[in-house]
């Protein structure tokens, strides 16, 4: 059951996050008439497979996760009108199962166990097909569904009492919508960030692929109190597929990193052979099997602005899994990205949690600003979470990550959820 509590006042951003009106000069993070994924430099590294770890000591405890659960199946009325009794019976069970599955959760330990968040009055707890999530500030987050609906909420930890465990509570703030180009299809990735003018921005894009080789991008100021963007200031841009293969999705996840004059657009692109080439996988297989390596492939890349002409670096390739969620792990000293948290959605096989270590290197076309990718380590997020929650592993496909807020302090100190 959801626990209802008195609604607290809406959270306010720290004073140093007060938005600054956009001036005459464009922001360094502007994507108007720009191309993300263009001018690939350096050499493409060979693909990584799965290297298992006993635990991931670099995975931040309390990281917020979203899942693409929630039924998009036909309604009972539609199937009844079609007169297909068998499909009607099957659909009843599927919809009932889908609609009680987790939408959001937190990484609870170094084994990658995710504890679903089920208490609260936030719209995100009933959302359908969440594709991405971002931290607005502190304990405030926004998750976005594939249809463009945004769900803004805050997380708080309710400490245990003599009769109950502690639990995380999702408090509703707002629900809005992101506009897409006419006929553009579903939204695949979003990123909320502060630009160099301290303005809160939303960047969003479609998945691309489908023989298009590219996708569209939109960026605009974001109002977390309404869950909407300022449509009068939308910047129109493009994103190209870095592999050049139209069967690959142009984007499957995205993050923006602003570090002084340098702006980096990090993203992943995936190939899903079960979708585009009819490849077949079963629940008995895992991400190390030859079938999985043939069916699922991913790349991690970034496009950099602010160091002369923009360029794109394919940092790593992977086979056997689809990376649908990334989180940049930054050095608190120089604010540079030192590693990337990876989350996969491997359909019937479940999902993995991994850490991709990075090291600065001199790379052709990038000077001293290139990156070498070390061997990533993984734990089985879906299987380990299944043992804790009894939810099928296929329902733990990660679709987005966001940093932990202050609520995570209690969890790190051993609180139970």
pLDDT along the chain (417 residues), means of 10: 45 45 62 92 92 96 92 48 54 56 94 94 95 97 97 90 73 97 90 94 89 87 98 96 93 95 96 96 95 98 91 96 98 94 97 96 69 96 95 93 91 67
Cβ contact 65:114 at 8 Å: yes
Tokens 């359909």 correspond to 347
Q: Give CA–CA dist 142/93, Å, rounded.
A: 30
Question: Residue 52 burial by CB count (10 A; 0-12/13-18/19+): exposed, middle or buried?
Answer: exposed
Q: In whole angstroms, give the CA distance from residue 339 to residue 172.
A: 32
Cα(116)–Cα(331) distance, integer angstroms: 28
Backbone angles phi, psi at 57, to 5 degrees: -75, -20
Helix (H, G, I), strand (E, B) or coil at 384: helix
Among 180, 309, 170, 325, smallest CA distance to 251 is for: 325
- Give the span between the Cα atoms of 31 and 21, in whole angstroms: 17
State both tokens at 180.
């897409």
CA–CA separation, 376 and 320 (whole Å):
13
pLDDT number for residue 307: 84
3-class SS letters over 84-106: CHHHHHHHHHHHHHHCCCCCEEE
Of the chain, the end-to-end C-alpha distance in Å amounts to 15
User: How many alpha carbons lie under 13 Å from residue 20 in its C-beta half-sphere?
Assistant: 13
Find out whether 353 and 53 touch, Cβ atoms under 8 Å: no
- CA 114 to CA 108: how far, in whole Å? 6
What dihedral do alpha carbons 92, 279, 255, 302 form, nearest 10°? -170
Q: Is 294 left (phi over 0), alpha (psi -120 to 50) or beta?
A: alpha
Q: Give the bridge partners for 200, in sequence order.
A: 194
CB atoms within 10 A of CB 352: 27
Half-sphere exposure of 125 (CA within 13 A, CB side): 19
Alpha-carbon span 390 to 379, nearest angstrom: 18
**Integer CA distances (angstroms), 280 to 33, 249, 301, 390, 405, in order:** 40, 19, 28, 25, 39
Residue 349's alpha-carbon distances to 111, 129, 209, in angstroms, are 17, 18, 23
pLDDT of residue 1: 39
């Amino acid at each position: 059951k959801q626990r209802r509590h008195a609604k607290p006042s809406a959270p306010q951003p720290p004073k140093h996050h007060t938005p600054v009106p956009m001036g005459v000069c464009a922001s360094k993070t502007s994507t108007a008439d720009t191309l993300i994924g263009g001018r690939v430099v350096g050499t493409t590294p060979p693909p990584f497979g799965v290297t298992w770890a006993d635990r991931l000591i670099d995975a931040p405890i309390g990281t917020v996760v979203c899942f693409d659960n929630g039924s998009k199946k036909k309604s009972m009325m539609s199937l009844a009108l079609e007169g297909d009794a068998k499909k009607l019976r099957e659909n009843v069970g599927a919809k009932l199962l889908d609609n009680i599955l987790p939408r959001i959760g937190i990484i609870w330990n170094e084994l990658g166990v995710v504890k679903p968040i089920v208490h609260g009055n936030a719209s995100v707890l009933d959302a359908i097909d969440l594709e991405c999530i971002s931290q607005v500030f502190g304990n405030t987050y926004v998750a976005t569904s594939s249809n463009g609906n945004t769900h803004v909420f805050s997380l708080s930890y309710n400490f245990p009492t003599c009769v109950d465990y502690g639990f995380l509570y999702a408090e509703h703030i707002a629900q809005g919508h992101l506009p897409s180009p006419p006929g553009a299809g579903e939204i695949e990735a979003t990123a909320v960030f502060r630009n160099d003018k301290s303005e809160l921005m939303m960047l969003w894009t479609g998945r691309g692929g489908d023989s298009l080789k590219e996708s569209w991008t939109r960026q605009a100021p974001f109002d977390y109190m309404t869950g909407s963007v300022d449509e009068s200031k939308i910047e129109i841009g493009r994103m190209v597929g870095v592999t050049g293969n139209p069967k690959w999705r142009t984007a499957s996840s995205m993050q923006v990193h602003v570090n002084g004059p340098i702006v980096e657009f990090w993203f992943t692109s995936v190939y899903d052979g079960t979708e585009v080439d009819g490849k077949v996988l079963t629940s008995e297989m895992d991400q190390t099997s030859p079938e999985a390596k043939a069916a699922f492939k991913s790349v991690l890349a970034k496009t950099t602005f602010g160091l002369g002409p923009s360029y794109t670096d394919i940092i790593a390739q992977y086979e056997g899994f689809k990376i649908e969620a990334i989180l940049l792990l930054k050095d608190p000293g120089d604010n540079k990205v030192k590693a990337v948290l990876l989350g996969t959605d491997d359909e019937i096989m479940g999902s993995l949690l991994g850490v991709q270590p990075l090291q600065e290197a001199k790379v052709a076309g990038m000077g001293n600003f290139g990156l070498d990718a070390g061997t990533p380590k993984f734990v089985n997020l879906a299987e380990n979470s299944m043992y804790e929650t009894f939810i099928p592993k296929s329902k733990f496909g990660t679709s987005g990550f966001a940093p932990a807020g202050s609520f995570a302090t209690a969890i790190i100190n051993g609180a139970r959820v």
